Amino acid sequence: MTEILYAALIDAVQTAGSLIRKSTGSRMAVEFKTSWSDLVTAVDRAVEQAVREAIRTRFPDHGLVGEEMGGGWDREYTWVLDPLDGTTNFAHTLPNFVCSLACYRHGEPVVGAIYDPNRDELFAARRGGGATLNGLPMAVDLAQTLRESLIGTNLLWDVRENRFHGLPALQELGKEVRGIRSLGAAALELAYVACGRLTGFVQFKLSPWDYGAGLLLVTEAGGRVTQMDGAPMDITTSSSVVATNGLIHDDVLHHLRRG
């Protein structure tokens, strides 16, 4: 079953990437969801609709939870989709945006993929089968200390949501690491942890579609993903996310708590 799911996964994210690519590079009309900074475009909706139809055709008894059209977790198998993570980047023609898709069985990840149509990079994983980048094995960064580490975050989103309590924690961590970067697309940053471009990623609140595929990619690439208090992830809820190469994970949690 895993291989059948994996084949459907790859087809779906590559189809999504083709749709995104057709509209890449030009400014477009946007709509606002929860606030002026929470954007959605016609491309987000078109991609989600296309992926939903592809999954429904192959697996009519599966559920799907998507950013734009919602869904529930009442099926044995549930797909979790962010059709276009980094919509603000996309709307401003900044080339940091991806499609993220994963399939979960009873709350545990089975397959997951993140596709970057700008760079034609496909990050994919099967549970227990490792993770790949364009078909080649990938692994997390080997840094053993915070001073060797490059960390990703999307702090400004949290600032706009008035979660200023997170700033001291990130400042505390920032004193210890080599650098902190914000790419504006959590799924892309999780993919970068999985392939070793970032040593870790920290976010104070993410939705399941933001981290659904990235969680599997990072763990299958040899890393570790928890909530900020060290608790395991629960794909059915929004939560904080700390994803690292595993070697620095406890140190990251320690400094975040100090903050």
DSSP three-state, residue 205: strand
Mean pLDDT, residues 199-220:
96
Q: What is the mean pLDDT of the chain?
A: 89
Give the total residue count for the chain: 259
Lowest mean pLDDT among 11-15, 16-20, 87-91, 243-247: 87-91
The whole-number pLDDT of residue 61 equals: 97
Q: Which of 93-97, 138-142, 167-171, 190-194 has the lowest mean pLDDT?
A: 167-171
Beta strands 136-137 and 131-133, pairing class: antiparallel
What span, in angstroms and rounded, lies between the C-alpha atoms of 95 and 171?
A: 27
- Report how far apart, in Å, the C-alpha atoms of 229 and of each of 73, 236, 239 are: 24, 18, 10
Q: How much is the average pLDDT of 39-56?
A: 84
User: Same topology for domains 2-137 and 146-258, yes or no?
Assistant: no
| pLDDT confidence bin for 87, thresholds 50/70/90 | confident
Compare 256 and 69 and report the one with higher pLDDT: 256
Instruction: Return the CATH fold of 146-258.
Output: D-Maltodextrin-Binding Protein; domain 2 (3.40.190)
Report the pLDDT averaged over residues 27-35. Answer: 52
pTM of the model: 0.92
Answer whether 32's CB lies under 8 Å from 120's CB: no
What pLDDT does residue 30 have?
52
pLDDT over threshold 50, residue 36 = no
Q: At a CB cut-off of 8 Å and minimum separation 6, what does 153 contact?
A: 170, 180, 181, 182, 189, 201, 202, 203
Instruction: Give Cβ neighbours of residue 71 (< 8 Å, ≥ 6 apart).
Output: 63, 64, 65, 78
Q: How many CA atoms lie within 13 A of 178 on its CB side?
A: 13
What CATH number should be reported for the domain whose range is 2-137? 3.30.540.10
Task: Output the pLDDT for position 6.
Answer: 98
Least confident among 36-45, 57-66, 145-154, 159-168: 159-168
230: tokens are 């060290």
- What is the Cα–Cα distance from 89 to 131, expressed in whole angstroms? 26
List the chain domain ranges. 2-137, 146-258
**Beta strand pairing call for 63-66 and 77-85:** parallel
Tens digit of pLDDT for each residue in 61-83? 999 998 766 688 999 999 999 99
Question: What does the alpha-carbon distance between residue 217 and residue 107 come to, in Å, rounded to a whole number?
Answer: 16
Question: What pLDDT score was predicted for residue 45?
Answer: 85
